[in-house]
């Protein structure tokens, strides 16, 4: 990646547009962020085209100085059209020529669960550069599809538009065969978008459930505090996947001990802490069934107490 070597953004390998500090190309972030700010509710976003002259002008501007192009000078459909052009012009598409046949083979599996596992196993074979940009794109398409009632762009409609851009057949494949593959490539992209939509909705549901549990915990704590002198604290964790494992939560305290009162909710633990001295300081583990991907949560109450929740953190992938 050498910005001084060339300012070109179109028709350039992803590896030339990314670095350790910039995992997604500047032009992708710039165009997607603008569309998410101004075009999520635009009817026909990505389906309708903008002015040809304006598309050419914006493309030249991005190729010359992507950092300083003012997108406010262009309609949302022009910006969306230019983004699609950028994807189509990649020398090697996001889902790559090398894995094209693998994706089609996965789509040929009979059971839907097997198909999903097959597609995601192929996605795992993508280079980190391609995967990072694909993840950003899919998240963007999910945000568009969630507003289908307003913008009239379903997951299927988006897949029809984007499949030819990100899952193109190699030039070596017979043109007739590539036409026959269109339904499979479209279904493949739609499957990925729908799966990510389901995960997104599940996370929102988990967050709502945890907020309810947190309010319930606050109410219970206020009642218990009236009749108990020891300190009470509810430790909250947020789930972002549907898988469950047993996670060890280490509560380290100086000159104190605690009692696990109850598991108010699968994500909320109610602890009772007293100031009775314990020598040496204890670090006691609690085994609690919790989802495998968590946000760490640390806090301190009084000088007597210091808490640290230690757990395994995994990055979120497609």
Q: Tokens 């060339």 belong to which residue?
A: 6
- DSSP strands (E only) in 167-306: 231-236, 244-252, 257-265, 268-274, 283-291, 298-299
Structure confidence at residue 225 as a pLDDT band (50, 70, 90): low
Residues 158 and 182: their CA atoms lie apart, in Å, by 14
* CB atoms near residue 229 (< 10 Å): 7
Q: What does the pLDDT look like over 194-215, one tens digit per residue? A: 999 998 888 777 777 777 777 7
Task: Look at residues 199, 147, 116 and name the one whose alpha carbon lies nearest to residue 39.
Answer: 147
Q: Is it the case that residue 288 has pLDDT exceeding 60? A: no
3-state class of 178 per DSSP?
helix
Of 175 and 33, the structure prediction assigns the larger pLDDT to 33
pTM above 0.85, yes or no: no
Q: What does the pLDDT look like over 75-129, one tens digit per residue? A: 999 999 999 999 999 999 999 999 999 999 999 998 999 999 999 999 999 999 9
Query: What's the angle, vertex CA 143, arms to CA 46 and CA 189, rounded to 5?
Result: 65
Sign of the Cα torsion 8, 14, 20, 26 reads positive
Q: Can you list the domains of the chain with their CATH numbers? A: 3-210 (1.10.555.10)
pLDDT for res 30:
96
Specify burial of residue 26 (Cβ count, 10 A radius: 0-12, 13-18, 19+).
middle
């Amino acid at each position: 990646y050498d910005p001084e070597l060339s300012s070109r953004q179109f028709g350039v390998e992803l590896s030339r547009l990314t670095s350790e500090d910039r995992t997604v190309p500047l032009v992708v972030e710039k165009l997607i962020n603008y569309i998410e700010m101004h075009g999520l509710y635009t009817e026909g976003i990505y389906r309708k085209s903008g002015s040809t002259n304006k598309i050419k002008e914006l493309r030249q501007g991005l190729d010359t100085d992507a950092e300083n192009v003012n997108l406010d000078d262009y309609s949302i459909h022009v910006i969306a059209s230019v983004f699609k052009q950028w994807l189509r012009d990649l020398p090697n598409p996001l889902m790559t020529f090398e894995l094209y046949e693998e994706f089609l083979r996965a789509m040929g599996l009979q059971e839907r669960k097997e198909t999903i596992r097959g597609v995601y196993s192929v996605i795992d074979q993508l280079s980190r550069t391609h995967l990072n940009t694909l993840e950003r794109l899919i998240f963007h398409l999910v945000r568009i599809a969630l507003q289908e009632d307003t913008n009239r762009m379903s997951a299927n409609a988006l897949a029809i538009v984007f499949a030819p851009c990100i899952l193109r057949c190699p030039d070596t494949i017979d043109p007739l065969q590539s036409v026959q593959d269109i339904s499979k490539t479209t279904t493949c992209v739609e499957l990925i978008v729908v799966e990510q939509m389901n995960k997104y909705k599940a996370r929102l549901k988990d967050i709502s459930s945890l907020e309810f549990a947190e309010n319930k915990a606050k109410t219970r704590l206020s009642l218990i505090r009236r009749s108990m002198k020891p300190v009470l604290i509810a430790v909250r964790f947020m789930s972002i996947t549907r898988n469950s494992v047993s996670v060890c939560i280490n509560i380290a305290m100086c000159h104190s001990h605690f009692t696990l009162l109850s598991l108010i909710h699968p994500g909320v633990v109610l602890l009772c802490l007293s100031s009775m001295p314990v020598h040496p300081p204890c670090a006691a583990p609690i085994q609690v069934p919790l989802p495998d991907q968590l946000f760490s949560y640390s806090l301190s109450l009084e000088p007597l107490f210091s808490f640290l929740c230690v757990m395994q953190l995994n990055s979120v992938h497609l």
